[in-house]
Amino acid sequence: WWRPRLPGDVIPTHYNINLNITVDQPHFHGRVNMFANVTRATSVLLLHSSKEMIFKRSAVWMVASTPEERQIKNSFYFDKNEYYVLEMADTLKEGRYRVELVYDAPFQILPYGLYRSSFKRPNGSKSYFAATQFERSDARKAFPCLDEPALKATFNVTIAHHARYVALCNMPISSSTRVDNQIVDQYYQTSVVMPTYLLAFVVGEFWNRESRSRNNILVKIFYFSLKMRYYARPSVVNHTAYAESVGGKIMTYFEDTFGVNYSLPKADQVAIPYFGPGAMENWGLILYAEDYLLWDADSNTEQNKQLVTSVIAHELVHQWFGNIVTLKWWNDMWLNEGFAKFFEYKAKAVVESVWKKV
């Protein structure tokens, strides 16, 4: 745990993540089951986490026909490298394991990790929401994990939230269960294999507009159209109309150019009132600061329109360069961004030829 990089002897394959998100409260509750292969015998398990997390339960199971719980001798947080350290009573031999962690944690205040913020409705009342920003290394603020870009896995996410809010994740909803008059458990489809920094979720009072690209998603022998939805706070949701008019066109251009279809059944675009990086290419759930997704002819300029087009194109390029093909470590970020910047200009010319730059 003294080293800043994980030792590489534990390889995650899948996460089951259950979150209870009440946006008008300062804390959330989580349960994570991480499935991983131990490739070299070890007596220590390291997971990235946040020092604010309070762990209620930690357990390690060997996955077998008869699951066997392995005893944890000691656990502690190593602040320098943001590790939650599990020292085992006995050495874990090579094999498949399940690590279960139950915890409480605060929402972040700044727009990184899983954070909480609010916006004002037209009547002056406050509406709280929760959103995520995990790149580069802030997934660990939402759930304990192996938070390095090369350590890809699949994810099943369940979010319990108030029924009056929308809850979005990378994948479509597979089912919902009404817990009581107020709370809904929302289950999402299993994700594609991806790094932790591309996982995302949003809970809050957001409305959407919807469009479709060319029919191009092949499922068995049937073609279904890709669903692209555009979300914003209710009072400005109509300002996503321009983004809706160009999003499908840009997506189709990239599919034709790369010869590889978009990988997921949906591509949600969400304008977040308080968002740190400008925009983020989370697979299937792209988040934007409002200025980078919303455009209104009465209050914005042609320059604003070009900016919105550029950012949408940039984030959609990343669905291929960055998401399908992912950097091994952050020192290769220039390659991710270089491809995205180049094809951003190409896509702008498809939308409007007078914007052609390359």
Annotated binding site: 314, 318, 337
Kindly tell me the sign of the dihedral angle through the C-alpha atoms of 33, 327, 93, 42. negative
The kind and range of the H/E element at 254 are helix 241-258
Task: Measure Cα distances from 298 to 158, 207, 273, 351, 355 in Å.
Answer: 40, 21, 20, 21, 21
Q: Binding-site residues for Zn(2+), please?
A: 314, 318, 337
CA atoms within 13 A on the CB side of 62: 16
Instruction: List strands edge to edge, sheet with 222-232.
Output: 207-219, 222-232, 268-272, 285-289, 279-280
Q: Which residue has the tokens 């840009």?
A: 250
Backbone angles phi, psi at 89, to 5 degrees: -70, -35
End-to-end CA distance of the chain: 48
Quick check: is 352 catalytic?
A: no
Q: What are 15's strand-pairing partners?
A: 34, 155
Helix (H, G, I), strand (E, B) or coil at 331: helix
Beta strands in the chain (DSSP E): 10-20, 27-38, 42-48, 54-62, 68-70, 72-78, 83-92, 95-106, 113-120, 126-133, 154-162, 166-169, 173-178, 183-188, 201-204, 207-219, 222-232, 268-272, 279-280, 285-289
Beta strands in 79-134 (DSSP E): 83-92, 95-106, 113-120, 126-133
How many other CB atoms sit within 10 Å of the CB of residue 265? 15
DSSP label of 168? E
Do the beta carbons of residue 15 and residue 155 sit within 8 Å?
yes
Q: Choose among 11, 7, 6, 326: nearest CA to 153.
A: 11
Rg, C-alpha atoms of the chain? 21
Among 82, 290, 315, 344, the one annotated catalytic: 315
* Strand partners of residue 168: 202
Q: Catalytic amino acids? A: 315
